[in-house]
Structure 1
Amino acid sequence: MTTVEQSNAAPSTAEPRPQRMRTIVGWVIVIALVLLVAFVAIRVSASSPSNRDALDPEARDDAGALALAEILRDQGVEVSIFRSRADARAALDDDATLVMTNPYTLTDDGLAEFIDPAGRVVFLSAGSHLLNVLDIGDNAPGTSEPVSAECSIPQFAEVGTIRPDRFFSPADGVDACFGDVDGAAVLVDERGDDERVVVEGTRLFSNAYLAENGNAALALALLGQTDRVVWYVPSFADTDIESESPDTLGSLTPPWVTPVILLLLAAGIATAVWRGQRFGPLVAETLPVTVRASETMHGRARLTAQAADAAHAGQALRDGAQRRLARRLGLAVHAGADEVADAASDRLRIPRGTLQALLAGPLPADDAALVELARRLDELEIAVEASTGSRKGEQ
């Protein structure tokens, strides 16, 4: 036997090692994924639904109300934050306004006892049960348009307009502000010696939206009427509901559900890894039919024409023109209508309001308006392209 034949007959031990290493790495990844899924499932099942951070005066995130608390302090209002209703009740006096979100952690008797010494109470959010307990009104439909005070409460006269997310219908004798005949965003109850105010301010007074419209002015009108604000933050740690605990995902499901879900996930991952190793590398193949982009465009145009949807077609024209204008003006592809209008106004010396109305104004209602919109957009693009070419020539 020659040397070549001996070398060919000798078994090779170099090739199985990479394969064995890939198998080990694959199982390590599978185990890590299973542990990660188990950890996430345990955390989800152990967590309880809570909106504790909504309008929390010490929270800095978008849903918090730290900005509102700081504005009140800048206006000379003393803001005291309490997470214990006993401490908050002890801090109340005639010169203080009691402020809280929906006290969902208190019973009806506990709420009545808590707010009894307060001459003025402002609820920054409310549920249907709270409306019934206060006998102040009920839920009502509303509008998405900006609304002004339209009531006789003097502190709301300089607020301006707001865009509330929720409306209430007032009870008899309750003043309703910021709404219409169907409902109002703010209810003010002065039927007795005390004043009770309800507003859905979860979005209006949050850090993310406080600077919009008249939101900050409305907050100051509601909370800045006294020298002190006693801000109580409800929580399940300070509840008077006995023998009850907040429902969690784990308590609402049978005990066998979580292990079965984890087992199914582990089996699915293992099957994917096992079957995935049987396939080879991807092979690029040409499609049997090539559909031209123009055919797709004409097809969509015919569907839009059959539906007589001028508004949808107008929006499509605007989107395309806005992207092309942004590229020609040196802006980001996803630049908004305001940015494109500003840049085009500076370039063409055209009033910004005209371009804003063209790019973000009302959509066309019929074919004639659609044709007019297309013509004006085309003229704007030609003007911008011409100005861009002239600038390049000057350079």
Structure 2
Amino acid sequence: MTHAIEQIYAPSTAVRRPPRWRTVIGWLIVAALVIGVAFIAMRVSASAPGRHGGLDPEGRNDAGALALAEILRDQGVDVTVSRSRAEARAAIDEDTTLVMANPYTLSDEGLTALMEPADRVVFLSTGSRLLSLLRIGQDAPGTSPAVAAECPLPEFARVGAIRPDRLFTPADGVSACFGGSTGAAVLVDDRRDGRHVVVEGSKLFSNAYLAEDGNAALALALLGQTDHVVWYVPTFEDSDIEGQSEDTLGSLTPDWLTPVILLLLLAGVAAAIWRGQRFGPLVSETLPVTVRASETMHGRARLTAKAADSAHAAEALRDGSQRRLARRLGLAAHAGADEVADAASDRLRIPRGTLQTLLAGPLPTDDAALIELARRLGELETAVETTNHTTRSDG
């Protein structure tokens, strides 16, 4: 009897559950936060990559060329930055130097039309297609240590030694500077009415390396010969490769399908919250060891950086971009580089070979090439995502 009375008056050890309405409000707040974070992440991912890439005159990162643009302005040179080929062509006058990185987003006709009014054109980086179009030379094997100009052109007389990123074999009648018998780093073509200069300066003229050796002096010798510089920045958005868009899944989807899908998702979340209350509060269970995914990711990144394994890092970047592009292009998750390149080529009207080289070409061997690869992959993802938004808006 005494034991029964003690049990009646003993304090209850049961955990009082909060009222249902508080739980529902808490889940709604969590859902709102998740949707807000997802929206911000989508906006950032759609605009951040490729905003200021390699040798961008407004880029402040190591691969940008803001330092070079500011040096030119300090020397009294008027620098006009243009991301539109039409605006760049209109800004060219008699005393103007047209400068750009490798215009891989322009067709041969578009590049020729852009260069036509300019008497002096400087390419700060180049590719095999550009060398063939200009008929200025071709790639030369091997590398070169620090080398001086050793050519009769007067603007290079006071430039010190540089360490070339890449060597070229000049064509007949083309002046070769900063090199030797194996090749030269700078090619100057005076065979036409105007002057065309080609140099691989992705590393020479970047913010990180401009102060080394004679890099800054070479940049001033190339770009400081006129009072006005028009700096064109090639982008996928300004590509002149046009064509009729084919029907896609987004254009064929009826307008009412998206609201219905969102309504079904909200109904599923509400049902999960409603049914989840029947199982009671969660019980934590102690496991033998816990390793966070972020720790594993940072650990592998530190090992790759310590080993200076640019090729391994490039493979990881390509693999991630390939999977994301496959998802955005409506392909299978395990789609290969050729399938992704074909789909992106059809979507963006870009030559298939350019995208195959980007997704499955030779791996970079140094940090500068790795940064350039990451920038171009980011621009490709941004262009594909932009076409997705445009297609949905048109649909």
- The TM-score with structure 1 as length reference comes to 0.54
2:107 alignment partner AA: T
Preserved contact between residue 105 and residue 234 of structure 2 (Cα < 8 Å): yes
3-state SS of 2:88 partner: helix
Query: Which residues of structure 2 form unaligned runs of 5+?
Result: 18-26, 246-320, 335-395
2:241 alignment partner AA: I
Query: Which residues of structure 1 form unaligned runs of 5+?
Result: 18-26, 259-395
> For the residues of structure 1 that align with 2:10 and 2:164, how far apart are their CA atoms?
82
CA shift, 1:176, in A, is: 1.6
3-state SS of 1:173 partner: coil
Q: Which shows bigger deviation, 39-48 or 63-72? A: 39-48
Preserved contact between residue 136 and residue 171 of structure 1 (Cα < 8 Å): yes
1:156 alignment partner AA: F
Map 1:122-271 onto structure 2 (within 5 A): 122-143=122-143, 145-243=145-243, 249=322, 251-253=325-327, 254-255=330-331, 257=333
CA shift, 1:218, in A, is: 0.3
The superposition leaves residues 279-313 of structure 1 with CA deviations (integer Å, 9 ceiling, x where unpaired) of xxxxxxxxxxxxxxxxxxxxxxxxxxxxxxxxxxx
The superposition leaves residues 204-228 of structure 1 with CA deviations (integer Å, 9 ceiling, x where unpaired) of 1112221111111000000011121
Preserved contact between residue 52 and residue 234 of structure 1 (Cα < 8 Å): no
CA shift, 1:87, in A, is: 2.1
Task: Tell which structure's C-alpha radius of gyration is larger.
Answer: 1
> For the residues of structure 2 that align with 1:212 and 1:179, how far apart are their CA atoms?
18
> For the residues of structure 2 that align with 1:38 and 1:144, how far apart are their CA atoms?
49
2:73 alignment partner AA: R
> For the residues of structure 2 that align with 1:75 and 1:229, how far apart are their CA atoms?
12
CA shift, 1:73, in A, is: 1.6
1:82 alignment partner AA: S
Preserved contact between residue 84 and residue 238 of structure 2 (Cα < 8 Å): yes
CA shift, 1:256, in A, is: 5.4
3-state SS of 1:257 partner: coil
Preserved contact between residue 142 and residue 179 of structure 1 (Cα < 8 Å): no
Label 1:172 to 1:43 Cα distance change in 2 as closer, same or farther (>3 A): farther
CA shift, 1:180, in A, is: 2.4
Label 1:2 to 1:84 Cα distance change in 2 as closer, same or farther (>3 A): same
> For the residues of structure 2 that align with 1:201 and 1:180, how far apart are their CA atoms?
18
3-state SS of 1:178 partner: strand
CA shift, 1:162, in A, is: 1.2
3-state SS of 1:118 partner: coil
CA shift, 1:145, in A, is: 2.3
> For the residues of structure 1 that align with 2:32 and 2:179, how far apart are their CA atoms?
55
1:102 equivalent in alignment to 2:102: yes
1:235 alignment partner AA: T
- RMSD of aligned residue pairs (Cα, Å): 4.0
- The TM-score with structure 2 as length reference comes to 0.54
Match for residue 83 of structure 1? 83
Preserved contact between residue 139 and residue 168 of structure 1 (Cα < 8 Å): yes
> For the residues of structure 2 that align with 1:257 and 1:32, how far apart are their CA atoms?
29
